Structure 1
Amino acid sequence: MEPIIECVPNFSEGRNPEIIKQITNEIESVAGVRLLNVDPGKATNRTVVTFVGSPQAVIDAAFLAIKRAGEVIDMRSHKGEHPRMGATDVCPLIPIAGITMEETAVWAQRLAKRVGEELHIPVYLYEAAQPDKSRSNLSVIRAGEYEGFFKKITLPEWKPDFGPAGFDARRGGTVIGARDFLVAYNVNLNTTSPRRANAIAFDVREAGRVIKEGEQPVQVPGSLRSVKAIGWFIEEYGIAQISMNLTNIRVTPVHIAFDEVCRKAAERGIRVTGSELVGLIPLQSMLDAGRYFLEKQQRSTGVSEKELIRIAILSMGLEDLGPFIPEERIIEYQLRNPADEKLVRMPLRDFADETASESPAPGGGSISAYVGALGASLATMVANLSSHKKGWDSRWREFSDWAQKGQGYKDELIRLVDADTRAFNAIMAAFGLPKGNPTEKAARHSAIQEATKMAIEIPFRVMTVAAESMGLIRAMAETGNPNSVSDAGVGAVCARAAVLGAFMNVRINAAGYEDKAYVVDILARGNALQDETIRAEAAILQLVNEKIGM
């Protein structure tokens, strides 16, 4: 996998769109970089920008953005609610795919060195990029903010890692580092009091608050680990907020942070009215939140990805201050390539028309995957109906677990619809490669074999997933809502069609693959899956027919 890193610089300008555009134009000028999100805040007078790309392209874009920010932002006149110390206040790099945190930290150090040496801006390293762990915490580095740094930077212990040891009045200083994915998240309160908001922030943040026991100050930790929080008043909205950085969403996910702020606010007589995401969030965080709130209602969590996201938005009030558009706020949705989902995005009629056309793709492999997805969907429907059936309340979790498993089968088979067509297209492309000399012939032959193997393995995966779904289908035929037993029966027929259809594609593509040991093995496993599926379908249909009784 090609290495991909994310960069989330925070610029000290959130009110002038022309200035912000000048900075983001620099980012977009670099090939190999994709700008994902620009999130300005008027009250904070700060803009959070998110972009991704290859490591070299990302640090090139970040350098240009930092340079431009220093030219168009004057810190001498900057005011805002958020702590800050420079025109580019902080610039973290985050490993996304194909790269380790240690490797990302090296790229951050390269960027910091270049900014310090070429732009003459004081630069501090933080988090994984900072070898001195006594000064790796962003809040410790930034303490004193812009106004206090003119003196702070002269102290030997606060000499910058790169750049001059003198503070630039116009541009300030910047902090560059490497860290895990951080979610910036604000919770809205029905109060205008920043003091009360701060009290709730101290209740929940990991650092807690300092209290006096006798003459000695004592640090009392808050209730949420890996959370930084402050309270402030947002004039733009006329409310106070708890502004949080969730630095490890595996330790404290968004939904837990939201619920805990609700609890602590209620203890102080304050209500939470909603919340606000700053920048992007991983898909898994939204799915986990949706499942969490459904479980609290004792409702099935085996619903679609889209529905889980909708539940998360409603439950956390993410549209309290403005629209929450998943396609713009979820990082995986920003990164996905629409071409990878060309078929499954089609209306049903268009899909059928495309299949019926003279084009050889989509063919039997894609259709097998789609039929399998329909079979898993029918069984999942039975599980959800059973979970919510009146009088079956004590069994809601049992059927919820089945439904969640069914959603997994359905989602993977849907993904394989387009994957099978891409595999076929790759074979056609390989056959079209030049073969004018021995080198070209060898490259063409290698490409054909590689594409052929993929065209075997994708339908074999369809077989595997569709066969696995038979367990869910049988369970629903045996124990699910009896009014929907026929739906389980149709699901079994679909799953059998998917397995047998996909195996035809495995076999026809295997004929052109030269690794005979591999071919013998996969055909043997395919035959076993086919026989197992035929037996499973027969057993399920016997159950269904007995229950229908006519």
Structure 2
Amino acid sequence: MERIVECVPNFSEGRDMSVIEAIAKEIRETENVKLLDVDPGADTNRTVITFVGTPEGVKEAAFRAIKKASELIDMRNHKGAHPRIGAADVVPFVPVRGVTMEDCVRLAHELGKRVWEELRIPVYFYEEAATRPERKDLSNIRKGEYEGLPEKLKDPEWKPDVGDPVFNPKSGATVIGAREFLIAYNVNLNTRDRKLAHKIALRVREKGRKKRLETGEKIHIPGRLKAVKAIGWYIEEYGFAQVSINLTNYKITPLWKVFEVVEEEARELGLRVTGSEIVGLIPKEAILDAGRHFLEKQGRSRAVPEEEIIHTAILSLGLSEISPFKPEEKIIEYLIEEEHPLINMNLRKFANTLSEDSPTPGGGSVAALLGSLSASLLSMVSNLTFGKKGYEEVWERIEECGMKAQELKDKYLMLIERDAKAFDMVMEAMRLPKKTEEEQRIREEKIEEATKHATLIPLDTLKLTLEVLEVSKPVVEHGNVNSISDAGVALTTLLSCAEGAYLNVLINLPGIKDEEFKEKTQKEAEEILERVRREVPELMERVKERMS
């Protein structure tokens, strides 16, 4: 899917699994949609469901889920710890890839119109989809909750954005919006006292709190953290209180900052933070940012594989205190990415597969593998330099080189898969029918398109060698002398990567009819290879000097 929207509806049922499954089934069976997560909470009596898909697919799945909730959930019988206003309480659209916030606002407005017209449920719009400033904040719309909704609807200021101001006793109202990625995050405390948890929430949330002075005057004290909404509650299921947080923009206030500020406030009240939990999913960058922060606090290099960074974040934030935090189930990118059969093979299986009579994986994948090994070695040398006595002046620079090398390693690994898939696309085009003139025309177009794509993949591999070259220079010059031979091996491996990628560009060019494309691609490939051939030997001479 080139265009991906995420939807994270919250339903007011967290105990009856048959109801939750019926709602999830509607989403699961919608075309062009992938259900990622179903997270029920018994004490909150609320379920957060996460799914992604094409814009139209996600909009359709959201409607079907709202419709099923309106059939199975009766708000007149609902009790739970979480604020709510309706059966399908809140339905946000989140841009993930290839879509804008404006696209998500349009989806929200279209869905709201359909919900009223077909289900007769009043709809409010919030966040970026809001029709007036006071409705941007979800808590303003939900104030008074379901129980206060009949009176709220009588107030002209709270007329629904879509629908008549008529109370729907069974379904309440639904709030639909468009927003940036929201992280639902709860911090665990060593107390059962909800009031203490809420006191911390009031201090950290952006909205802040009111305080009465000795004179009787009330003043407003701003909260410590931007883009943070919070309340305190007690969860009987867990046996402790939590500061329950909606982090509305982790790029403004990072996850680790929320955790540490709650820790500070807890200590002031004689409490201790014992751990935390992510409700639903989290973007990979948010948890990587936390992991890097804690590695830095520990004086450790951040130039390590992302798996280690994530593991550090899980340990430091105590994300497995309530239940094991499984990255493959909680990080959104891991859930929506395609399978990677080649890069997940062990060495023997990859070598065995390579040695067989199948054309994939082939030389293009091996060239990308060589690039990943080169970047890995450079990261290794940087890690063997960072924190070592005698190299203090270059710690910061060498760590940056290692982090960049890790990023390049991961890009090369993906190119192993992309190269094999590109060849498979060419083969698929070759197998298209060619009996009629129209079929022949379509087949030729598909072959041309697929062959161009198969040429650009090794060109990408070749382009990355220039970035690795730039990383290698400070590593060769300043890296730990005891590991400088490893930097030399990285250079020779990089040269082989470039030579192999260049050959894979050349072999595809004769099958392409577009002469302008062929000329431009060959010229670019030759210029890159010429630079790599020139600079690698120069760097190798410096390696030998430092070895001697």
TM-score band, normalised by shorter chain: over 0.9
Contact 2:43 2:235 in 1 (8 A): yes
Runs (5+) with no aligned partner, structure 2: none
Matched residues in 2 for 1:409 and 1:3: separation?
A: 25
SS in 2 for 1:18: helix
Number of the residue aligned with 1:295? 296
Q: CA deviation at 1:467?
A: 3.2
Contact 1:299 1:396 in 2 (8 A): no
Matched residues in 2 for 1:160 and 1:519: separation?
A: 59
Matched residues in 2 for 1:28 and 1:458: separation?
A: 34
User: Does 2:541 correspond to 1:528?
Assistant: no
Q: CA deviation at 1:216?
A: 4.1
Number of the residue aligned with 2:430? 431
Matched residues in 1 for 2:314 and 2:151: separation?
A: 45
Contact 1:467 1:496 in 2 (8 A): no
Once the two structures are overlaid, the 10-residue window that deviates more, 25-34 or 284-293, is 25-34
Number of the residue aligned with 1:241? 242
Matched residues in 2 for 1:532 and 1:33: separation?
A: 46
Q: CA deviation at 1:507?
A: 1.1
Q: CA deviation at 1:162?
A: 2.6
Number of the residue aligned with 1:229? 230
User: Does 2:113 correspond to 1:113?
Assistant: yes
User: Does 2:285 correspond to 1:270?
Assistant: no
Q: Give the 3 Å change call, closer, same or farther, for CA 2–311 of structure 1 in structure 2.
A: same
Contact 1:409 1:466 in 2 (8 A): no
Q: Give the 3 Å change call, closer, same or farther, for CA 394–546 of structure 1 in structure 2.
A: closer
User: Does 2:191 correspond to 1:191?
Assistant: yes
Matched residues in 1 for 2:271 and 2:158: separation?
A: 40
Q: Give the 3 Å change call, closer, same or farther, for CA 394–264 of structure 1 in structure 2.
A: farther
Report the residue type matching 1:187 in the other structure. Answer: V
Runs (5+) with no aligned partner, structure 1: none
Matched residues in 1 for 2:217 and 2:306: separation?
A: 52
Number of the residue aligned with 1:332? 333
Q: CA deviation at 1:144?
A: 0.4
SS in 2 for 1:536: helix
Number of the residue aligned with 1:212? 212
SS in 1 for 2:212: strand
Matched residues in 2 for 1:106 and 1:526: separation?
A: 43
Q: CA deviation at 1:185?
A: 0.5
Matched residues in 2 for 1:372 and 1:55: separation?
A: 36
Report the residue type matching 1:325 in the other structure. Answer: K
Q: Give the 3 Å change call, closer, same or farther, for CA 165–206 of structure 1 in structure 2.
A: same
Number of the residue aligned with 2:88? 88
Contact 1:23 1:65 in 2 (8 A): yes
Contact 2:33 2:58 in 1 (8 A): yes
TM-score where L is the length of structure 2: 0.96
Matched residues in 2 for 1:121 and 1:155: separation?
A: 17
1:137-152 paired onto structure 2 within 5 Å:
137-152=137-152
1:146-161 paired onto structure 2 within 5 Å:
146-161=146-161
Number of the residue aligned with 1:381? 380
Matched residues in 1 for 2:26 and 2:217: separation?
A: 51
Number of the residue aligned with 2:42? 42
Number of the residue aligned with 2:460? 461
Number of the residue aligned with 1:371? 370
Number of the residue aligned with 1:99? 99
The count of residues paired between Structure 1 and Structure 2 equals 547
SS in 2 for 1:292: helix
Number of the residue aligned with 2:510? 511
Q: CA deviation at 1:87?
A: 1.3
Q: CA deviation at 1:266?
A: 1.7
Partner deviation per Cα, 1:463-508 (whole Å, 9 max, x = no partner): 1212321232343232111111111111111000000111011111
Matched residues in 2 for 1:455 and 1:544: separation?
A: 35
Number of the residue aligned with 1:15? 15
Number of the residue aligned with 1:58? 58
Number of the residue aligned with 2:307? 306
1:342-353 paired onto structure 2 within 5 Å:
342-353=341-352
Matched residues in 2 for 1:428 and 1:104: separation?
A: 37
Number of the residue aligned with 1:480? 479
Q: CA deviation at 1:61?
A: 1.7
Contact 1:93 1:108 in 2 (8 A): yes
Q: Give the 3 Å change call, closer, same or farther, for CA 468–137 of structure 1 in structure 2.
A: closer
Q: CA deviation at 1:510?
A: 1.6
Number of the residue aligned with 1:131? 131
Matched residues in 1 for 2:427 and 2:123: separation?
A: 52
Partner deviation per Cα, 1:503-531 (whole Å, 9 max, x = no partner): 01111112222232332333223222222
Matched residues in 1 for 2:225 and 2:330: separation?
A: 24
Matched residues in 2 for 1:171 and 1:524: separation?
A: 64
Matched residues in 1 for 2:415 and 2:312: separation?
A: 27
Report the residue type matching 1:276 in the other structure. Answer: E
User: Does 2:334 correspond to 1:355?
Assistant: no
Contact 2:205 2:230 in 1 (8 A): yes
Contact 1:300 1:396 in 2 (8 A): no
Contact 2:394 2:478 in 1 (8 A): no
Matched residues in 2 for 1:158 and 1:295: separation?
A: 49
Number of the residue aligned with 1:32? 32
Matched residues in 2 for 1:394 and 1:256: separation?
A: 29
Q: Give the 3 Å change call, closer, same or farther, for CA 460–34 of structure 1 in structure 2.
A: same
Q: CA deviation at 1:86?
A: 1.3
Partner deviation per Cα, 1:288-345 (whole Å, 9 max, x = no partner): 111111112222111111111111111111111111011110111110111xx22111
Report the residue type matching 1:218 in the other structure. Answer: I
Report the residue type matching 1:236 in the other structure. Answer: E
Contact 1:115 1:163 in 2 (8 A): no
TM-score where L is the length of structure 1: 0.96
Contact 2:131 2:161 in 1 (8 A): no
Once the two structures are overlaid, the 10-residue window that deviates more, 310-319 or 123-132, is 123-132
User: Does 2:519 correspond to 1:497?
Assistant: no
Matched residues in 2 for 1:2 and 1:334: separation?
A: 16
Contact 1:507 1:523 in 2 (8 A): yes
Contact 2:398 2:474 in 1 (8 A): no
Number of the residue aligned with 1:450? 449
Partner deviation per Cα, 1:256-284 (whole Å, 9 max, x = no partner): 11111112222222211111101001111
SS in 1 for 2:358: coil
SS in 2 for 1:192: coil
Partner deviation per Cα, 1:339-358 (whole Å, 9 max, x = no partner): xx221111111111111110
SS in 2 for 1:92: strand
SS in 2 for 1:91: strand
Q: CA deviation at 1:404?
A: 0.2
SS in 1 for 2:465: helix
Matched residues in 2 for 1:310 and 1:303: separation?
A: 11
SS in 1 for 2:172: coil
Contact 1:299 1:400 in 2 (8 A): no
Q: Give the 3 Å change call, closer, same or farther, for CA 199–393 of structure 1 in structure 2.
A: farther
Q: CA deviation at 1:215?
A: 4.8
SS in 2 for 1:259: helix
Contact 2:105 2:129 in 1 (8 A): yes
Matched residues in 1 for 2:439 and 2:304: separation?
A: 50
